[in-house]
Amino acid sequence: MARLPRLYAPGLPQLVQASFVQPLAASGQPAPQDILNQLAAWLGDSAQRHKVAVHGWVLATDRILLLATPIDESGLPRLMQTLGRNLAARLRGGRVFAGRYRSALLEPHVWVLRAQVWLETYPVRSGTASDPDSWPWSSAGSHTGASHQTPAPSWQSDHADYWACGNTPFDRQANYRKLLQDGLSREESQRIEQAVSGQWALGGPTFISGLAHTASRRVSPGHRGRPRKKPLPAAPSGTATP
Do 16 and 76 meet the contact criterion of CB atoms below 8 Å apart? Answer: yes
Give the H or E element holding residue 173. Answer: helix 169-182
164 strand-pairing partners: none
For 225, residues 6+ apart whose C-beta sits below 8 A from its C-beta are none
Residue among 218, 186, 192 nearest 102 (CA): 192
Superfamily of domain 14-208: Transposase IS200-like (3.30.70.1290)
Domain ranges for the chain: 14-208
Query: Is a pLDDT exceeding 90 seen at residue 5?
Result: no
For residues 35 and 24, is the Cβ–Cβ distance under 8 A? Answer: yes
Confidence at residue 46, expressed as pLDDT on a 0 to 100 scale: 97
Per-residue pLDDT band for 218 (boundaries 50, 70, 90) equals confident
Task: Give pLDDT, residue 16.
Answer: 98
Q: Flag whether pLDDT at 71 surpasses 90.
A: yes
DSSP-assigned letter for residue 137: S
- Among candidates 130, 109, 237, 235, which has minimal Cα distance to 180? 130
CA distance between the termini of the chain? 40
Please compute the mean of the pLDDT values over residues 34-45 and round it to a whole number: 97
Give the closest residue to 83 by CA, choosing from 70, 104, 110, 65.
65
Phi and psi, residue 172, nearest 5° = -60, -45
Chain-centre distance for alpha carbon 191: 13
Q: Evaluate the CA torsion angle 3, 21, 51, 105 in order and state its sign.
A: positive
Q: Tens digits of per-residue pLDDT, 107-149?
A: 999 999 999 999 999 999 999 999 998 999 999 999 999 876 5
Res 225: pLDDT: 45
Give me the mean pLDDT over the 216-242 stretch.
Answer: 55
pLDDT tops 90 at residue 235: no
Could you report the per-residue pLDDT of 201-212, keeping only the tens digit for each? Answer: 999 999 999 988
Q: Tens of pLDDT along 74-100?
A: 999 999 999 999 999 999 878 899 999
